[in-house]
Amino acid sequence: MTTLGELGQRAKQASRALALARGEQKDAALLAAGELLVQRSQEILAANQADVDRAGAAGTPPSAIDRLRLNPARVESMAAGLRQVAGLADPVGEVVEGWVRPNGLRIEKVRVPLGVVAIVYENRPNVTSDAAGLCLKSGNAAFLRGSSGALASNQAISAALREGFAKAGLPEDSVVLVEGTSHESAREFMRLQGTIDCLIPRGGPSLVQAVLENATVPYVIDGDGNCHLYVDASADLDMAVALLVNGKTQRPSVCNATESLVVHAAVAPEFLPKAVDALAGVRLVGDEASRAISPSIGPATEEDWAKEYLDLVLSVRVVEDLDAAISHIQRYSSGHTEAIVTRDLGAAERFTREVDAAAVMVNASTRFTDGEQFGFGAEIGISTQKLHARGPMGLRELTTTKYVVTGTGQVRT
Amino acid sequence: MTTLGELGQRAKQASRALALARGEQKDAALLAAGELLVQRSQEILAANQADVDRAGAAGTPPSAIDRLRLNPARVESMAAGLRQVAGLADPVGEVVEGWVRPNGLRIEKVRVPLGVVAIVYENRPNVTSDAAGLCLKSGNAAFLRGSSGALASNQAISAALREGFAKAGLPEDSVVLVEGTSHESAREFMRLQGTIDCLIPRGGPSLVQAVLENATVPYVIDGDGNCHLYVDASADLDMAVALLVNGKTQRPSVCNATESLVVHAAVAPEFLPKAVDALAGVRLVGDEASRAISPSIGPATEEDWAKEYLDLVLSVRVVEDLDAAISHIQRYSSGHTEAIVTRDLGAAERFTREVDAAAVMVNASTRFTDGEQFGFGAEIGISTQKLHARGPMGLRELTTTKYVVTGTGQVRT
């Protein structure tokens, strides 16, 4: 049996060739892989059906089965994703900056691939294709560890991708899928020092904590979003209602959904009733001040303030002023996205400067923190950490830089 | 007694004020601290003498005592370092990039401080002042854990810095020094999740491994340098001798010193005797091909190829061609700095593209990988990892970015 270390070495070897591949070759590989995904739809859907049947027999909840299930449209959408990535600009080789030193040394900071990018993910089989495509385009080998529940689907998808990449003359091992999925092997995976250049866990808090505790390889955390919308005293209240409804209800299960409403006391009596009406179907929990205004708001506990509901639930807090709003948000923010609705320039400036988050929005929905919405074309995740990448991670965030220094025999004195 | 967590919270609190401080206030604080260091020379030197006496009594080796020892010139040099940092441009607030989306959303990526930067370091007391200065200028609180052997020195220095920063109206806790220095507390320090935004260990491989094993906070590794100089078939051999002598002997104890010489077989018979003559006083160990040319080269073992000597020792290898040179370097490189001496454009291009290191030099000494030499003004270390920062880390590498998104009520559809 192939060991995890050997699989990693295959990815490492492939990454050397990928780092030197031209853009046109990578794009041809992406298009070939997309074509094969569609041609192999039958096989992929059959493998997926086997995973879905196993999940059903094991009593997996319907929402999880829905994330696992593929259909012809979802396979086509994976292929479309690869075509879209082929159309993006190649990040590799970009000279990020360059200058000449007084002694004549010419210094260039050049964008290069990371090497082997490892992704640990849960039941969604489309991640196999999406992640492999972004890794390939950025010149990295993808070393993928999906869940055991999606193994047959992931195998069928990665087989098509490997064959497609090989058609364009790139190594099959540009995508390496790990097939053993025990907890023990997860720990071993996170400790492949010297093999994995960047690990991106895509999963819940327990996966993130396992990475923090066990990983000895470099990683980027794609964390939770406890996103607040603060409605300032000077807010356009109709705009605030629209942003709140969009942030909370447009897609409640995602990390950039609005989870908590903070309202300035001066406008709470007018705003909250409008908000409550507009949020019909959303369960509301709030502090005493909000409940005194609107009896349809239930009591919030301390836990509510920190909670990422990912559901049609919203916490509500009334604050005396901007300072109290910022303090509340600083205390409970997960550092993802925080928004203010205001017409007051000073309030907007203070909010954007003082609130510490990957993205701070003024008069816009929290739902905009997203690689596509930012114009990156696609994203591998959203970083809530401060090192390397913060916010939506596109192709550039899958690269590092190298200094190329050119001289004419300079020595240090 | 104050707990480590409480000390961290003080630094966190201070970091909030520092993030909002104007550049002129930070510069005034740096100048005031520099002035106080000089005024307090007597006290600092007396505290340092106590550390030196304890180290002598404990049988500490002379080289370590030398790193620990301060004198009036070294104190003045710390103060000069703070004045120099005051003169650098403030990295905070820089708009790294900005664009407008088709829906009118305006997106700006703005440079902001990390928050609390923690440094674990060994005996050099000047790190206390250098690190605190760079952290303050970049808007971060410095949370410092020096060695027990330098505790009295570090206390005296940090007391002066704290008082200096406070004179300019910034929090004393912009510098927080940890006074307990047991191994247990080191582990606890690396696990202050939510308090430490970035940990930079400055020490040897055992400290680095302890961070990889135990840290749950984000970190940047300042690693070893097993730096190679490759002399190509087309090299100017006099230039190659000059670069080799400079790289190996100008300051052998540092991470950017040249540790290994790789020579193309076509020029080895002419080059090696010149190199051996020029390196009088350096112990040379090499492969058989090199020893056949120069009998003063001793035999190298497998361990030599991977070794960072930090001393007047050099390993020597003769290779058949550029491919063999690149393979050898890829295998043994620590990813710090690798150099080629060549007049061949194709060889230079292949070397700079294919060698995977923080810095790749063409016709320049490996000793140039350094924040001052790159023009950053000062450095907090040299990263050999690929995430966040790679190569010399100056003020910008002590920052992160935040997206500020400004709209007029946009929602997602």
pLDDT of residue B36: 98
Smallest CA–CA distance, residue B336 to chain A, in Å, is 10
Q: Can you give the pLDDT at residue B355?
A: 97
With beta carbons less than 8 A apart as the criterion, state whether A253 and A221 touch.
no
B401–A410 CB contact, under 8 Å: no
Query: Cα–Cα distance between A83 and A79 in angstroms, integer?
Result: 6
- CA A146 to chain B, closest CA, distance in angstroms equals 23
Query: Quick check: B212 and A216 CB within 8 A?
Result: yes
Of A197, A402, A413, the CB nearest to B360: A402
Cα torsion through B345, B350, B351, B357, rounded to 10:
140
Read off the pLDDT of residues B102-111 as tens digits, 9 standing for 90 and up.
Answer: 999 999 999 9
Architecture of the domain delimited by B4-223: 3-Layer(aba) Sandwich (3.40)
Q: What is the pLDDT of residue B406?
A: 98
Residue A248's pLDDT is: 98
Number of CB pairs, chain A paired with chain B, less than 8 A apart: 192
Q: What pLDDT score was predicted for residue B2?
A: 83
Give the pLDDT confidence score for residue A63 in this predicted structure. Answer: 84
Partners of residue B225 in chain A, C-beta under 8 Å: none
| Cβ distance of B358 and A402 shorter than 8 Å | yes
pLDDT tens string A218-276: 999 888 899 999 999 999 999 999 999 999 999 999 999 999 999 999 999 999 999 99
Closest C-alpha among B149, B121, B125, B123 to residue B57 = B149
| Through-space distance between the first and last CA atoms of chain A, rounded to whole angstroms | 56
Q: How far is A60 from chain B (nearest CA, A)?
A: 31
Q: How far is B89 from chain A (nearest CA, A)?
A: 17
Q: Which residues in chain A have Cβ-Cβ distances shorter than 8 Å to B348? A: 406
Q: Which residues of chain A does B356 touch, with a Cβ-Cβ cutoff of 8 Å?
A: 19, 112, 115, 402
Are the C-beta atoms of residues A147 and A204 closer than 8 Å to each other? no
pLDDT at A255: 93
Residue B316 corresponds to which tokens in the numbers above? 């020597």
Partner-chain contact A360 B239, CB within 8 Å: no
Q: State the pLDDT at residue A378.
A: 86
CA distance A1 to chain B (A): 26
Instruction: Work out the pLDDT band at B143, boundaries 50, 70, 90.
Output: very high
Closest residue, chain A, to B384 (C-alpha): A402
Distances (CA, A) of B235 to A65, A153, A383: 63, 54, 46
The model's pTM is 0.94
CB contact under 8 A, B361 and A407: yes
The CATH number that domain B227-369 falls under is 3.40.309.10
CATH number for the domain formed by residue range(s) A227-372? 3.40.309.10
Is the CB of B364 less than 8 angstroms away from the CB of A410? yes
Long-range pairs of A343-348 with CB within 8 A, sequence gap ≥ 24: A343/A232, A343/A234, A343/A235, A343/A236, A344/A232, A344/A233, A344/A234, A347/A232, A347/A233, A347/A234, A347/A322, A348/B406
Give the gap in angstroms from C-alpha A328 to the nearest C-alpha of chain B. Answer: 14
Helix (H, G, I), strand (E, B) or coil at A168: coil
Please name the member of B16, B368, B413 whose beta carbon is closest to the beta carbon of A405: B368
Distance from CA of B406 to the nearest CA of A (A): 5
Query: Per residue in B27-60, pLDDT tens?
Result: 999 999 999 999 999 999 999 999 999 999 999 9
CB contact under 8 A, B402 and A361: no
Please provide the average confidence, as pLDDT, over all residues in chain B: 95
Amino acid residing at A108? E
Residue numbers in chain A where pLDDT is lower than 50: none
Q: Could you read off the pLDDT of A302-321 as tens digits, one per residue?
A: 999 999 999 999 999 999 99
Domain A4-221+390-406 matching CATH 3.40.605.10: the answer reads: yes
Which of A386, A402, A412 lies closest to B357 in CB terms?
A402
Both structure tokens of A96? 């990020």
Helix (H, G, I), strand (E, B) or coil at A391: strand
Residue B186 pLDDT more than 90?
Answer: no
Asked whether the ipTM of the predicted complex exceeds the cut of 0.85, the reply is yes
Nearest to A406 among B362, B369, B391 (CB): B362
Q: What is the mean pLDDT of residues B244-265?
A: 96
Cβ contact, residue pair B365, A236, below 8 Å: no
What mean pLDDT is predicted for residues B162-178? 97
Q: Where in chain B is the domain with CATH 3.40.605.10?
A: 4-223
Interchain contact, B105 vs A20, CB within 8 Å:
no
Burial of A42 (0-12, 13-18, 19+ CB in 10 A): exposed
A230 contacts: CB under 8 Å, gap ≥ 6? A262, A263, A264, A325, A329, A338, A339, A340, A341, A351
Q: Where along chain A do the CATH 3.40.605.10 domains lie?
A: 4-221+390-406
- At CA A326, angle to CA A320 and CA A332, rounded to 5? 110
Tens-place pLDDT, residues A49-80:
999 999 999 999 988 898 899 999 999 999 99
Say which range, B204-208, B286-290, B312-316, has the weakest mean pLDDT: B204-208
* B403/A218 CB distance under 8 A: no
Can you tell me the distance from the alpha carbon of A258 to that of A308, in angstroms, rounded to the nearest whole number?
A: 9
Positions of CATH 3.40.309.10 in chain A: 227-372
- Percentage of chain B lying above the pLDDT 90 cut: 91
Q: What are the residues whose beta carbons fall under 8 Å from the beta carbon of A260, sequence distance 6 or more?
A: A226, A227, A228, A229, A305, A314, A315, A316, A317, A332
Residue A182: what pLDDT? 74
The beta-strand segments (E) located in A56-174 are 95-100, 106-113, 116-121, 141-145
pLDDT tens-digit readout, B263-299: 999 999 999 999 999 999 999 999 999 999 999 999 9
Three-state DSSP class for residue A123:
coil
